[in-house]
Structure 1
Amino acid sequence: MSGTGIDELLAEARSRLERLSAREAWREVRSGAAWLVDIRPAAQRAEEGEVAPGLAPLVVERNVLEWRFDPRQDAVLPGVGFDTRVIVLCQEGYTSSLAADALRSLGLSRATDVVGGFAAWRGQGLPVARTTELLRA
């Protein structure tokens, strides 16, 4: 066998992150100290719900994340710099670990993710909205 399995890749990525609980992430985002970035696909957000719009979550699907957060790219989001605190959120906290580690590899040394992802966020009773509620807002 050649290469590294996904379990090893995930463990390596997480060894480089200081992961946050859902409540810790909520506190940072609420205080304005961090950007919360939901990388889940639209269908998953529609089915499971989203972080409430009052917390200004960014939706940047996984396939474009690096381009939107690399300060060297023309496609970078306004205001993103190497010191930007980015908290990545996926459904259960697996893909977000890999994504946050990728951002750290680009030089965003303060990137991290949420242990347990959106499921933990919702499970902690933190502010959420269904996609249909977001469309009415």
Structure 2
Amino acid sequence: MVTVDELVARSREGVHRPGPQETRTAQLAGALLVDIRPAAQRTAEGQIPGALVIERNVLEWRLDPTGSHRIPEATGYDLPVIVLCSAGYASSLAAASLRELGLHRATDLDGGFLAWAEAGLPTEPGPLAG
């Protein structure tokens, strides 16, 4: 048995987690920035222009390069993927899951959307509450 804190720590072992500025540079260079937050959270906090929205419950299906439910951007296992959540905890677990699928360059934004916004990087309103 492990605690969730131990699981998060394990998912981060040996992984470079870029901060907001480095993530922005990677996004502009073609890395996939993937927002796994649910719509309600994106509505409350905002979102990052150009980030792909793939909610956590379907992430692996959409990014598996060999899967029948993949998105067009899931072109191969060498794809640079940076996952983000609100504060950078759920995204660490999600990125670890992607690495288990073979996406060896998958990582997550250190500090999540909140760190991005605090750094003054571009944001936009999230979806309208329904």
Superposed pair shares fold, TM > 0.5:
yes
What amino acid is the match of 1:97? S
Shift of 1:28: 0.6
* Conserved? CA contact 2:39–2:126, under 8 Å: no
Shift of 1:132: 5.9
Q: Distance in 1 between matches of 2:18 and 2:77?
A: 20
Where in structure 1 are there 5+ consecutive unaligned residues?
Answer: none
Match of residue 70, structure 2, among 76, 88, 101: 76
Instruction: Please name the residue that 2:28 is paired with.
Output: 30
Give yes or no for the alignment of 1:88 onto 2:86: no
Where in structure 2 are there 5+ consecutive unaligned residues?
Answer: none
Give yes or no for the alignment of 1:122 onto 2:122: no
Instruction: Please name the residue that 2:56 is paired with.
Output: 62
Instruction: Please name the residue that 2:41 is paired with.
Output: 44
Larger Rg: 1
Aligned-partner SS, 1:10: helix
TM-score, normalised via structure 1 length: 0.89
* Conserved? CA contact 2:83–2:108, under 8 Å: yes
Instruction: Please name the residue that 1:99 is paired with.
Output: 94
* Conserved? CA contact 2:96–2:107, under 8 Å: yes
Aligned residues: 127
Q: 1:132 to 1:83 in 2, by over 3 A?
A: closer
Q: 1:78 to 1:20 in 2, by over 3 A?
A: same
* Conserved? CA contact 1:16–1:101, under 8 Å: no
TM-score, normalised via structure 2 length: 0.93
Percent of residue pairs bearing the same amino acid type: 51
- CA shift digits 1:76-115 (9 cap, x unpaired): 1113110110000100000000000100000000000011
Aligned-partner SS, 1:19: coil
Q: 1:122 to 1:4 in 2, by over 3 A?
A: same
Match of residue 131, structure 1, among 109, 126, 129: 126
* Conserved? CA contact 2:36–2:84, under 8 Å: yes
